[in-house]
Amino acid sequence: MSVNDTAAALPAANGGALPIGGGLPSNLLLRFSAAALLWFAASGVTALWPDAADAQEWERTGEFASLLVVAAGLLVLAALLAAAIRPAPRSRLEAAIASLSASVPWLIALALGVTGWEILTAKLNLLPRPFFVPPQALLEVYLDDWPRLLDCFAASLRLLITGYAVGSILGVVTGVAIGWSRAVGYWVHPVLRLIGPLPATAWLPIAFFAFPTSWSASVFLIALASGVPVTVLTWSGVAGVNSAYYDIARTLGASPRFLVLKVAVPAAMPHVFVGLFMGLGASFAVLVVAEMLGVKSGVGWYLQWAQGWAAYGNMYAALLVMALLCSGLVTLLFRVRDRLLAWQKGMLKW
């Protein structure tokens, strides 16, 4: 099967509509079939088109083609489910198929992208090597080097979570203290003014020298990077609390402790979360730098190591892992926020 076949299949997808029951779009079967067809095509291109003669023969080409067939098969399954079983409206299956069908344009674009990538690299060898590798090279890394990648992933996650947790907790506590106590504000505010804008990575040489291990130094740097925005935003949140909230609690017999924990902190929470998001972003940057320069493990170290060996497949594989790690944590934080700040209306969706 060639690329032309897949291109020809596209208009058909938008053509005749097939009525299907339930709340699902009526041309669902066609949309899923078109996507499935393109994934089959991608697999065919990978498996049947021989690799360029003037370059190396890539490993794991067969496995990659099988993976693409599996993806295509799943789409066929989804199409059949949508058409034949006619899931009851509002069933979980219907919801799953509906959300999958919303991603059909993406699934089509991905199939085309993978096919194009495959052709440009392995099949025609048009892109400069060794900087560009075909997708099966990434698969090869995941299949052969997964223990090390998994180790690095776990190490990065542990370092990041530790530093971020320390930074966020200290940040919230400091922010509340500055917002609440004039004395604390007097002493901490100027320090924060001076130190805050400095990128945490500027402390790197001192940190690696001053801390007993590079790991603890990295925790410090990540905590610093995430702690500063959390502190500043928590503080501004606490400072901006409507004073009527305090009046009400005070006339009802609230202690200062209650005013802080049950009035100031929840009222400042929307601000705190802005700080937490900013801090998370900053901590990613510091994590990668710290791992590249000091810590002998983690995805950042793996990136550096792969580059040193000109193992670009490994590098792309690690980059993808890093992207999944960061985006996963950001998504998690959004979930937490949506749950804790459900009382806010008109929330942003990501």
Which residues of the chain form contacts with another protein (CB under 8 A)? 242, 244-245, 247-255, 258, 262-263, 266-267, 269, 341, 343-345
Closer Cβ to another protein, 90 or 257, answer by number:
257
Select from 84, 9, 83 the least CA-distant residue to 39: 9
How far, CA to CA in Å, does 205 sit from each of 155, 156, 167, 218, 298?
22, 20, 20, 11, 19
**Range 129-135 contact pairs with CB under 8 angstroms and sequence separation of 24 or more:** 129/55, 130/310, 130/312, 131/312, 132/312, 133/312, 133/313, 133/316, 134/58, 135/64
Closest approach of Cβ 345 to another protein, in Å? 5
Closer Cβ to another protein, 148 or 250, answer by number:
250
Q: Count of alpha carbons within 13 Å of 129, Cβ hemisphere only?
A: 16
Closer Cβ to another protein, 8 or 248, answer by number:
248
Closer Cβ to another protein, 97 or 172, answer by number:
172
Closer Cβ to another protein, 237 or 294, answer by number:
237
Supply φ then ψ for residue 214, to 5 degrees: -70, -25
Closest approach of Cβ 327 to another protein, in Å? 28
User: CA-CA distance, 78 to 25, in Å (whole number)?
Assistant: 13
Closer Cβ to another protein, 84 or 252, answer by number:
252
Closest approach of Cβ 238 to another protein, in Å? 14
Closest approach of Cβ 80 to another protein, in Å? 42
Closest approach of Cβ 271 to another protein, in Å? 13
Closer Cβ to another protein, 191 or 252, answer by number:
252
Closest approach of Cβ 252 to another protein, in Å? 4
Closest approach of Cβ 237 to another protein, in Å? 12
User: CA-CA distance, 207 to 223, in Å (whole number)?
Assistant: 12
